[in-house]
Structures are given as structure tokens and as C-alpha cells.
Chains A and B, each alone.
Chain A
Amino acid sequence: MIQGKAMILLASMLMLGACGGGSSNEGKSPGYEGDQSRPPISQPDGKTPPDQVVETPIIYPQMSVAQASRLLHQGTMGPTGAEITAASKLSAHAWIHDQFSQPITYHLPLLKFSPGKDQAGYINRIDTWWRASLSAPDQLRQRVAFALSQIFVVSDTGNNLRSKPEGMLNYYDLLLTHSFGNYRDLLEAVTLSPVMGTYLSHLGNEKANVELNIRPDENYAREVMQLFTIGLEQLNLDGTPKRDSKGNTIATYDQSQIEGFARIFTGWTFADTTSWKYPQKDYLKPMQVWPKYHSEFEKTLLNDVTVAANEGPENALKLGLDNLFHHENVGPFIGKQLIQRLTSSNPSPNYVARVARVFNDNGQGVRGDLKAVVYAILMDEEARDLSQSPEDFGKLKEPLLQTMQLWRELNAYSESGYFLTWDLASSHGQVPLGSPSVFNFYRPDYQPLTLAGSDLVAPEAQIANSVASIGLLNHHYSSLVWRIASTKDQPTGDQILVNLLPHVQILEQQGATALVEYYNQVFLSEQMSEGLKQELLRVFDWASKYDVEYQVAYCLFLIVVSPEYTYQR
């Protein structure tokens, strides 16, 4: 480990204990400089701590290049060589905190219409997602929001939201806003989003009409429990299911809670509309309530809580969301899925428990502090120190994030300035905010045949079938080999080009071995096998008759389709 310029931070807050590695300890997140926006729920001893506590300085070691590369693969949309070099001058703690402090790169303000059009279409939101994600300095936030977009799923695939690109971008911005905020606020913002309201049909949801056998719509009530908060089965803190005396799992809810929450989510529609039945449709502002359409019946919630019949819609919503938020499943259920999106498909139960503890209490009595959760996920010893990780630690890289890293590292651009990727579903098996259903592109517990008999899962393998993986193979090939900027002498319009000249320079000035070593750092976090190195060096022999940028492109192609690149460890 390189110990050059160690960052020394004077802990000026409530950091008890000087745990150097940054792994969580007893539910506290020692290095995390907490969320001050909310008052603590309570202090354990009822006393207010003094403002300044003099602490032993916590020393966070500077990262090596390999360590920086690993962290940035977990915590960015796909790191560039320059970002890895810059991060390697910091500690992991300092890099994460620097990321926390970056201003938010919102997507909606970056929306551009197509030439000659006076309104946005579907492809313009896809274009915006690429441009924003490629260039945003707040990479960690972008990565967390992308992860959240696969938990709090909305999609414009196969429905009318396809013609609401501003609304979709605004929904993504909502995820960005709350990525380092509190989960309770995120849950409320998602619930009241008119895009979510449209997608899961609680927008315009009415109270019962007993005479006509009409009851409230149960769609959001069901999915908010099954997917956004608690899941189907009661969980231990470490994410494993609780079992009854017969060894069976225990359901978290039944139809009575579905009906209770369905009643909670009645009476809400588009903001500022003058008609309930034929509303003016504002897909940006949070939904607003029409009390006369809100259910007047009592609402049965979780943990034997009921909301009284006369509670009123806004308070009922607050009580309903609080009820979900305080269920003990939320920490392990959401914590484990965030781990799976960022660092590992198969976290140890202890890793899940450490993260769930931080969800339950960020060390300052605050529940649901996502900034602390993200910090705990990335700084956990299981994520930071491979020698402490289980044998199968890590995850398959998502196809979109593979392309994102290539395009970021290779400064991809088009002459027209647009990133018009129409065919992501077939080339990547993924479309941002475009999954086939609310169940995302893959399930957290998906086990491919190759892993049968083990207790391992590989969610991303669910979309790696022969169609999608060959689609991705072809996409990588065309984007690297057929779209090299320096080989184009005709106007290229919307073609997305890659700039290989910096890599060609390394090759020409420092030689093939140096280029392979650079790739080892940027793409493989210095875990490249000898076999792959040889495979890459061989390219410069058999491809020596081709122009030098093609040699580089073939090299890159071989890397991104290699199993060791695809498996992020």
C-alpha cells in the first residue's frame, strides 16, 4: 500500500472510537461526516454531546492506483484513467467525501430537442442520460441514482410515458436529489411523482364505490411493499429470511395490508388540475390531493398499525409512509440491493448487517440516511480489502456501465453532439428507466445454471442470454472498431466516435507493454491475468499490418469482452 501523502482529518464531530480502516463498527459509521439536516431521533443517554470532542486523529491511507481503480469501478458510472490517477492521490474516505460535496448534475436542464423539433421525444431523454452521465463530476451520485432507478423502477417501455421525456428525466433528477438524502424523503418523493403515479396507476386512484363494486387500485400498494421497502418475507438484520418454528419463511403482509395501503394512496392526481376526471397533466410537479376522492375507511397497515377513518389524506399518507419506513425489513432489504448494484452480488450476511445497521442509525440517531449507507457500503472492509472478501465477491458489470466506461475513457462524441442510441434493449439488454416491468431487468436472487448447486446469485446474468450478450459483443466491436474518430474523413453526423489517440500515443511512445499495463490499471484494477496480457500483446504481432489505431481498438475489444473485465471484483 502506498503511504505517500496520508490524509489526516481532525474528527470534529461525534466520532467515537478511532477505527482506522473505516469499516463500520457497532452500527456506527466512524468516518462518515453525517447528515445534519435532520434532528437526531434521540440520543441514547438523553444528553446533548458537547460541540467539540477532541479525538484521536483518524488516518485514512492514500489509495494505490489499483485501490483507486477498484473503488471507482464501484462508485462511478465507469472510471477514466485520469480519474483513477487523481483519486489515487487521496484516501478512499477523502474521495467519497469529495464526491459527496459535488454539486448535483441534474439531467432535465441538459435536455436538447432534436434539430428542427419544438418538443422532446423519447430519444432525447436517452441522449440526455448519456451526456449527463458521461460528463458529470458527481459520478458517485450518478451511480447511486442509477442504482436507485433499478429499485424504484419506472419505465417508459411499452406505455404512454414514452411520450413524456421531461417527466422521465425529472424522475431521474428526483433520484439524484435524494441519492445522498434520507430514504424517507426519497420514498415520499417517489410516491408523489406523477410519473410513478402514472406507471403504477395510483394517480387518479379513487375511494371505493360500494354500490358499483369499485375498490381502490392496489397496484402501488403492492409494489411499494414488495419492491420499494420491505419485500415479501420478514428478514433478519443480515438479510437472511426469518423462519417460523417449522422452518418456513414468514410473509411480511397479506391482502389486508394491500387494501389498507391502497386506501392510503387514494385521492392523488396531477398538480394544479381543475378536473379530477379529465386532468391537465403536469408530469413534473408532485401530485396533489383531492380530499373528496380519498378513502374514508380505516386503513390497516403493517405491524398492527391502523390509520383512523377520519385521518385526512395528507396525514394518512404520512402515517402510511412512516409505517413502511420504520419496518425493520427496510435496512437489510434496501441495503442489500444497493450493495448488489455497487459492489457485490453475494455480500456476506455480516456485510449486509453492517450496512443495515447504518441504515437503521447513522451513528447520530438518524434512520434512513442514504449518504451514510453509501459510505458504509463502499468503505466496508469486504468491499475495500479483497483479502477480507469472500471468494466470489464482486458482480458482473452491467452492460450499460461497460459502454459508459469505454465512452468516458475514450472521450466519445458525435459531430452533431447527440448520443442517439435507439437500440439499447437489443444491444445492451438494458435501457435507463426502460425495464420491461417494475421488476427491473433482473431479479436480485437470479441464479444462472452455471451456479446451480451453489448459494451464489448473479442478477446481471439474467439479461446475459445469447441474444443480449451477442448484441453487446457486436456493440462493443462496432463502437470501438468502426467508430474511430481518426479514421473518419467524411462528415459523420450522429455517429458516436471514440478518440483513441491518447492510447496510440502511449503505444508509440512507451510501447505495447506500457499500454497493456495502463489498461490493466484502468479496466482491470491491476487484476489482469497473465493470459489476458499475453493475448493483448499478441495483437501487436498479428495486427501489425493494420493501422495502429486498429491495433489499439482490437486490444480494447478483447478486454471488454473478456470474462475478467466483465466480472468486477
Chain B
Amino acid sequence: MDRRTFLSLCIKGGVSAAVLTSTQLSAMQSLLNQQQYHDYKALVCVFLLGGNDSMNMLLPMSGEEKANYLASRQQLAIVDPISLSPVSALPDTGLNPALAPLHELFNAGDLAFVGGVGTLSAPTTLDDYINKRSHIPSHLFSHNDQQARWMHGKEKQSINTGWGARMLELLEDQPHFASNISLAGTNPWQIGSKTSAFAMSRTGQANISAFSGTNTRAVQLEQSVMRQLAGSQKRMAKVYGDGLTQGIANSQAMNASLENVAPLPDFGSGRLSQQLQTVARVIASQSQQGAGRQIFYVTMGGFDTHDEQVTKHPELLAELATSFSELNKAMVSLGVSDQVTSFTMSDFGRTLSSNGDGTDHGWAGNQIVMGGAVKGRDIYGALLPQRLGSEFDVKGGRLIPQVSTDQYSATLAKWFGLSGSELNELFPSLSRFDQQTLNFMT
């Protein structure tokens, strides 16, 4: 989209150039200054809220490993896994049958798993944990703190920004609003020092009733509201005034670019499917928005399975797998599957031991990455033994991660276009690990 198109959009939306706010002008500026990427790339983060029992996604199929698994998991054990045939020679590993839709993607080479991932500031042993050495992440097992650690890419400081937003800021001086999109509201991953997420609704973006139409009422109300929002003086009032000004301008621009999106393959009616459908629609119209790099944040809740895990968890995994496969179809149909990589994050893994009918907050877990650029049909990282009392077990089957969340994230950031030194800047503790990145991206 060029400057003229943008201006005509503004006028169509009822904003005359005379009342363009500084935010709108800066959005326009970023369009004009947009770096010319040779390619388009997008990252889709699917955050599984509550702490997915992801050790129960990949299961030992035979021998002592299986016996240990059954003993630790008891009634929560999955007894009918689907056998996986990864490229690498690995112990017999099965897939939770609730994830069956992912099996096909795995076999087609479009999907991989990364095992044993969790929050770490340095390689960590059981001895380090017992002796409370200083590099143990703060507030392990706490939902919001561990979510934030994943998304910040570093330990909490007085000012906190997320690695998603920082990554965009390393790539562009003034990131385009459409480069940073959340389908699930405010989150730590997308807050930077210059950019924060543009929030969209899973059912699309609302028009502003008060401003719609061309009559006196619409024109006057819009001008009056925008004047007031721009005129906020006090700092706390500016939080609202500036935020809404930006939200209105960006929503109007986004709605205009979504108008002409051709129909996509079907998505289900679940919340995750709906969010991913909107992501796909935005990706389909990205050339009109002009953002050469996009990051998306979507969430799925319900993973805090302290109780009724036997019924709840398979339902969650099934919905997750179905939604992933829908997104994959849509990306293939748009011809961008090599340019869009989707991946999971989750607060933490869960205890191998049971609390009667569920599990409690753990540490290491397994993650899913999907897309044409993923070296699929393989399992990376570490397949941790699912045995109570192992050298990885801090207690009750809370496992010490063997891959840090930062190594996992850095692999994605590298694919997105960041250099080695930028990765160290993005993830300050990365240099304490032998490998900056894993090998799961082309």
C-alpha cells in the first residue's frame, strides 16, 4: 500500500488528513519507511495457558522406559499411543492418540517436536536445584511468572519487554503496527520499548459505530472524540487516550485491508480455530498491510489440569491438533507454508506423579513446531525419562529442562532473520549454553 492508498483509506474512514494524529502519522511513516524484505515471514505463537501436560504427548513405547512411565503416571498413563517413525534414530516413541491429526503432518515433514524444554538461565543439574544456586529461575511453578519468563526471554527486571517485540525492534526502527498482532489481548511476548501488540478479535475487527456513516453526527463525533483523545495531558489519562487513538487508526486500516480477502479453507468453530482463521486472513492480506515480518499471538486455555485430567486433557489435545492442521491447510492454500512457522509455548510441563485425578505444576515439557521451513518428522532436544526419582526429577516428577526456552526461541528468531549477535542480545543467558540454537529450522 502506498501513501496515496493510505490517505484515501483515512478519508474513507472519515478521518480528514488535517486531524491525523501523531500516531496515525507515525503509522503512515512506517509504511513509507518499510524495509524492503526479500521475503515475507511470520511466526505464530500458540500459547497453551495453564501448563500443558506435554510429557504426555510423547510416550515411551517399550522396555524399562515404558514400565517407568506406567509406574509414575498410574491412571493418567496413555496406553494406546500411535507409533512414530522419526528421521533420527530414537528410542521407541509414541504419540498421544488425541494428537492423531498431527501424525499426518509429522509424516509429511511439516511438523516436529522439541523435547525437554523449559525455563533455564544456565545448564542446571539436580545438585544446583537442591542447593538453590543463583541461576535457578525465580518463582518456578508459578503460572504468571513462568509464562512471563518464556515470553520475556530473560529473567524479570524492573522494565520488562518480550522477545517477540524486541525481535521486531531489532529488525525495524519503527515496527509497523501489523507486524505485531495479538488475538488474545495484552501479553508479555509482544510488549517492547517502542511497540506493543495490535489486538484483534478472533471474529474480526469491529467497526466504530459512532463514526460510521457520512452524516454530520458521524463526522462531528469522530472529530470530537479524536481531539479529546489526542489532548490528554495527564500521564494516566494518556495511557487511555494514546492507546485508543492508536487502536482506532489501526483497526480502520486493518479492516480496510481485510475487505478483499478471498475465502480460505474451513476452520472449526472452536476458539483456537477461530483465532487461527483470523491469523490466516491477516496473512492473506499482508501485502496490503505492508508488514514484511509478522508475529502473531494466539492462546488456548484449560491446560491447568489439576483435576479430571483423564477426560479434559485428550479433549484439549484433540482441539489443538485439529486447529494446527487447519492452519497448515490454509497456509498451503495461500502458498506461504514455507514462510509461516507456528510453535507452542506453555507455562511449564506438569508433574509425572498424580494428585488423584490430575497433575500439578512442573517444569520441563515438550513443544510442537509446524511449517514448511521446519525440518519435520523428527524430535529435537531431549526425550526426558518419565521416571520418578531420576537425575532430572526435582521432586514428584517435576523435570529439569535440558533445553532452555531461550534456545528454543532463538532457533525461531534466527529463522526470522536475526544474526548470532542479535540472538545474544535478545536472550542474554543464551551464551551460557553450548548451543545457541537447535537444528529444527531450515
Contacts and interface: CB of A to CB of B under 8 A. Distances in A.
Interface of A: 158-159, 200-201, 204-206, 209, 212-219, 222, 226, 232, 251, 255, 258, 345, 391-392, 394-396, 426, 429, 436-437, 439, 443, 446-454, 456, 458, 461-471, 473-474, 477-478, 481, 531-532, 535, 538-539, 542-543, 545-546, 550, 554, 557-558, 561-564, 566-567, 569
Contacts of A201: 306-307, 358
A112 to B, nearest CB: 30
Contact of A426 (B143, B201, B246): B201
Given A452-B193, A466-B251, A468-B185, A545 B216 contact: yes
A544 to B, nearest CB: 10
Given A439-B143, A439-B144, A465-B185, A396 B239 contact: yes
Contact of B227 (A451, A473, A535): A535
B226 to A, nearest CB: 10
A255 B141 contact: yes
B250 A466 contact: yes
Interface in B223-244: 224-225, 227-229, 231-232, 234-244
B11 interface: no
A535 B142 CA distance: 48
Contacts of A464: 239-240, 243-244
Contact of B355 (A205, A469, A567): A205
Interface stretch (B36-44, B110-118, B202-210): B202-210
B306 A452 contact: no
A464 B224 CA distance: 20
A535 B227 CA distance: 9
B208 A474 contact: yes
Contacts of A554: 217, 221
Contacts of B306: 200-201, 217-219
Given A213-B71, A448-B239, A467 B395 contact: no
Interface string B333-360: 0000000000000000001111111101
A448 B200 contact: no
Counting chain A CB atoms within 10 Å of each CB, the highest count among B191, B201, B236, B237 belongs to B236
Contacts of B72: 213
B197 interface: yes
Nearest to B72: A213
B247 interface: yes
A563 B221 contact: no
B396 interface: yes
Contacts of B243: 448, 450, 461, 464-466, 469
23 contacts: A159-B302, A204-B356, A213-B71, A213-B397, A222-B361, A232-B139, A258-B141, A426-B201, A436-B49, A450-B243, A464-B239, A464-B244, A466-B199, A466-B243, A466-B247, A466-B250, A469-B243, A470-B205, A474-B210, A481-B210, A550-B217, A557-B210, A558-B224
A214 B306 CA distance: 12
B358 A466 contact: no
B301 interface: yes
Nearest to A545: B216
Interface string B111-144: 0000000000000000000000000001101111
Contacts of B186: 446, 462-463, 465
A563 B228 CA distance: 7
A526 to B, nearest CB: 16
A363 B235 CA distance: 37
A469 B243 CA distance: 9
B301 A158 contact: yes
A569 B234 CA distance: 10
A392 B224 contact: no
B159 A345 contact: no
Contacts of B138: 251
A468 B192 CA distance: 20
Nearest to B398: A255
Given A213-B72, A532-B228, A554-B221, A392 B244 contact: no
A395 B236 contact: yes
B241 A470 contact: no
Interface in B273-312: 301-302, 304, 306-307
Nearest to A427: B206
Nearest to A254: B132
Contacts of B197: 465
A464 to B, nearest CB: 6
Given A466-B247, A481-B210, 12 more contacts: A215-B351, A215-B396, A222-B361, A437-B143, A443-B144, A449-B194, A468-B199, A469-B240, A471-B201, A532-B228, A561-B228, A563-B234
Given A461-B240, A465-B199, A535-B228, A218 B49 contact: no
A567 B236 contact: yes
A531 B229 CA distance: 11
Nearest to B147: A439
B199 A450 contact: no
B199 A566 contact: no
B395 A255 contact: yes
B388 A213 contact: yes
B416 interface: no
Contacts of B205: 466-467, 470
Contacts of B256: none
Given A222-B142, A467-B199, A535-B224, A454 B235 contact: yes
B358 A473 contact: no
Contacts of A532: 228
A226 B231 contact: no
Nearest to B75: A212
A437 B307 CA distance: 16
Nearest to A536: B224
Contacts of B307: 201, 204, 217
B67 to A, nearest CB: 14
A454 B238 CA distance: 13
Contacts of B239: 396, 448, 450-451, 458, 461, 464
Contacts of B143: 437, 439
Contacts of B360: 215, 217-219
A478 B208 CA distance: 11
Contacts of A394: 236
A203 B183 CA distance: 34
Contact of A453 (B49, B159, B195, B397): B159
Contact of B196 (A218, A449, A463, A569): A449
A213 B354 contact: yes
Nearest to A559: B228
Contact of A473 (B210, B235, B302): B210
A470 B210 contact: no
Contacts of B210: 473-474, 477, 481, 557
B182 interface: yes
B181 to A, nearest CB: 10
Contacts of B237: 563-564, 566-567
Contacts of A463: 185-186
A214 B353 contact: yes
Contacts of B304: 219, 437
Nearest to B240: A566
Counting chain B CB atoms within 10 Å of each CB, the highest count among A450, A463, A542 belongs to A450
Contact of B228 (A209, A395, A458, A558): A558
Nearest to B360: A218
A250 to B, nearest CB: 11
Nearest to A346: B236
Contact of B200 (A222, A452, A467, A564): A467
B8 interface: no
Contact of A345 (B144, B236, B247, B388): B236
A567 B234 contact: yes
A108 B224 CA distance: 43
Contacts of A564: 232, 237
Contacts of A542: 216, 220
A213 B200 contact: no
